[in-house]
Structure 1
Amino acid sequence: MLITHARLADGRDVDVRIDGESIAAVEPAGSLSADGDERELDADGRLLLPGAIDAHVHFREPGYSHKETWETGSKSAAAGGVTTVVDQPNTSPPTVDGDAFDEKVELAKKSLVDYGISGGVTESWDPDSLFERPLFALGEVFLADSTGDMGIDADLFSDAVARAADAGVTVSVHAEDAELFDESARDRDAGGDGRDADAGLWSAFRTAGAEAAAVERALEVGAESAASIHIAHTSTPEGVDAASEAGATCEVTPHHLLLSRENLDELGTYGRMNPPLRSEERREAIYERVADGTVDIVATDHAPHTREEKETDLWNAPSGVPGVETMLPLLLNEAREGRLTYERVRDLTAANPACIFDLPQKGRVDAGRDADLVLVDTGKSRAIRGDDLHGNCEWTPFEDFAGVFPDVTLRRGDVVYDPAGETGAISGVFGDADGANVRT
């Protein structure tokens, strides 16, 4: 394929030639012409981005396929311009030994997009067999329970970080200190059963201080073993600053970037996640750090649950929200409105995660890299609707937010999403490319 007259995030107008799975050439617009059977797509000045890398998803297989599957999750990813995902270990069985890893890889072969598989840590984990596999990372390592009840104690965390350091594997940390949760929040539930509780009590329960303390502890343990530490879904400016000052990396989710406790009256239990939404003041401080480069990446913590599961009382509703399909569209709309630059969106979603997690073939529109590409018309946005999304749960915390969605998504040169059919490559919206493990 030859893509002509595309605009890159840095403002250059280019032609891009694709040969097989790779980008063969990137030249000034108008300098390349189609050869032989080469299909030509005139971008007509639309923005061409490297495919996004979502370094934090929960595609729920095995064990919870009613929430999401590799097929539905990867369709949602492709429709949102995400061409690589990294799945986390809290499935059933959890990905804590070689056999569980192999089982997940077999399921992941249904993916339309590329994927990485992270191993996890529990009391019964088998690091010897786990580290024999091509792990993407050790993570999400939980310092407090969330979905899957995989929280571990301080001694096991230290041992796991040391083992990962020896194996040269990055440790992605869910940083919350359960000992600093505010149990008095439950006492402020007037009914006592969570049915009529203010949704903000979940944020009051899992305190900002609990995250900040856990980030500090994770960084200390990482330093002791010279481990590579990545702080997942950082929800506080204190956590971001601590990671930055220690030379570690961190991610922020779209929901912590764009939502706060002020949205909980409308969201109710649909807005329960771990870590929880914070104050509007903290959200604004997080946004500043995303915009100025202090935050390394945006990743979704895509954690779908069904409406039936969410529509229960506050204390028993599962934590998590979907997000893989809306991350890039939301950030592109922020850039469209002038609050971020398109270069910053590229770095947050593609260039930086490729660098941090050692994916040299991904993250940039450069010759020799994988042809993971997203073509978008930045002049067009549309309202996000849960019913229009392609995941299993069919809802979103960003209902009615504006998003700039892809016109075409390519993964290693294959068209995996093409709603208008303008490439002539497929019949229908989605392609049939098989995703590949980026660590094999």
Structure 2
Amino acid sequence: MSRQLIKNAKVVNENKIFESDVLIDDDIILKIDRDITDVNANVLDAQGNYLLPGIIDDQVHFREPGLTHKGNIASESRAAIAGGITTFMEQPNTDPQTVTIERLEEKFAMAANTSYANYSFPFGGTNDNLEEIKRLDKNACSGIKLFLGSSTGNMLVDNEAVIEKIFRNTEMVISAHCEDEGTIQRNLAQYKEQYGEDIPVQYHPSIRSEEACYLSSSKAIALAKKTGARLHVFHLSTGKETQLFRNDIPLKEKKITAEVCIHHLWFSDTDYKDKGTLIKWNPAVKTAMDRKQLWEALLDDRIDIIATDHAPHTLQEKNNVYTKAPSGGPLVQHALPAILEKYEEGSISLESVVEKMCHNPAILFQIERRGFVREGYFADLVLVNLNNPWTVSKDTILYKCGWSPFEGSTFSSKISHTFVNGHLAYENGKFSAKRNARRLTFER
């Protein structure tokens, strides 16, 4: 049936929670109201569970092309919809890198054939592809990505003159990974002198330090102010950086915005003892005080978005000595349950979860008709039972890499249904054989 009727849901949308039915016609939300009847609709009784807009994850690494032993668009987007993520923006540091318009369109073609979730891809900036950036249509993709700190695939952009030219030559959102490479290399050299290659992982936040993060973030923000560029700083990890951002104007008026990731809100440096390189990320998980200050900035709107930075590696890769173990970990399947656990603890409201993971990504990237439960919008929807405890275990992990930093954690909330463009893509652990994902469109 092309019509779906969700009955008896608690809808979480635009700072309200209200009981309602939702009628879907093909791929669009047709009606939101109490006591809807439609004899032609397939009826799903939500039984009083919570209906959210589909999560929009503005930063993932799905490893295709070239790194598909870790993951691919099909495997990781499948895990994403099981975690309530209906839209993702996959980063350009693949092999080959997404740094030409031709490579960008090749990636869109891959996703069209294999993705379970809606998709877009930021275009990677380098020290020598300014002319390609100038040619890029502002509605072609989610934005520009710059690694202003070391990156896989040698995508480090360290020529300050080039960075300024990029800032001056695009209207698109420039998303930046901000860590100062010189500071990192000096710190690394000191620890290698003491420990060789097998540096204890607890020193990771001392190597990729607060100083390295703040120096890079503050320089990027100063340049954005100078040039008028639209800057979005990815994955804040320090309390000090949060002081650089404003909360006194609406998101639509902000030229400089920020994101925090699930792992920086969940873990702290005390967790390295038990988790080791499994929680080695760039930027590093830092102190409990940094985590507290990140939460404060998230809740007072200096930080605008919660994302995952999903970045799978095999366990064999992660189990190397410090200098050989890659940074990153898989998160898309467990991000929403993890943040809902923080709701259960009283750290964040459901309305704020939806604002930071659904509404704000749609506003910030100017995505067309997604991120809200609204009539006329695409029916990307997630039904969540807040009282259905389950424990993350090997046999429930869907990532191709087969592990999770949350293994052994018990979550109170479970995603039961995920709709992608009106199609019931995931239901109680089972996936539809049909994929209904779309390339994102933008209103710029």
Per the normalisation by structure 1, the TM-score is 0.92
Matched, 1:72 2:101: no
Q: What is the percentage of aligned positions where both structures have the same residue?
A: 30
Q: Post-superposition shift, 1:243?
A: 2.7
Q: Which residue of 2 aligns with 1:263?
A: 271
Out of 204, 207, 210, which is 2:209 matched to?
207
d(CA) in 2 for partners of 1:130 and 1:241?
A: 35
d(CA) in 1 for partners of 2:409 and 2:165?
A: 43
Amino acid of the structure 2 residue aligned with 1:278: K
Change in Cα spacing, 1:318 to 1:146, as seen in structure 2 (3 Å) is same
Matched, 1:26 2:28: no
Out of 391, 397, 404, which is 1:383 matched to?
391
d(CA) in 2 for partners of 1:201 and 1:139?
A: 32
Out of 19, 28, 31, which is 1:13 matched to?
19
Matched, 1:280 2:288: yes
SS class of match (1:173): strand
Structure-to-structure mapping, 1:40-439, within 5 angstroms: 40-109=43-112, 110-125=114-129, 126-127=131-132, 131-132=136-137, 134-153=139-158, 154-164=160-170, 168-181=171-184, 183-188=186-191, 192-195=195-198, 197-244=199-246, 248-403=256-411, 404-419=413-428, 428-439=430-441
Contact 2:392/2:409 (<8 A) preserved: yes
d(CA) in 2 for partners of 1:301 and 1:293?
A: 20
Q: Post-superposition shift, 1:241?
A: 2.5
d(CA) in 1 for partners of 2:285 and 2:356?
A: 21
d(CA) in 2 for partners of 1:123 and 1:278?
A: 30
Change in Cα spacing, 1:243 to 1:337, as seen in structure 2 (3 Å) is same
SS class of match (2:245): helix
Contact 1:59/1:68 (<8 A) preserved: yes
- Name the count of aligned residue pairs: 426
d(CA) in 2 for partners of 1:61 and 1:248?
A: 30
d(CA) in 2 for partners of 1:132 and 1:295?
A: 28
Q: Post-superposition shift, 1:352?
A: 0.8
Q: Post-superposition shift, 1:240?
A: 2.4
CA offsets, 1:74-99, max 9 Å, x none? 10110000000001111111111111
The runs of 5 or more residues in structure 1 that have no matched partner are 421-427
d(CA) in 2 for partners of 1:393 and 1:290?
A: 30
Matched, 1:35 2:39: yes
d(CA) in 2 for partners of 1:41 and 1:138?
A: 37
d(CA) in 2 for partners of 1:387 and 1:161?
A: 46
The runs of 5 or more residues in structure 2 that have no matched partner are 248-253
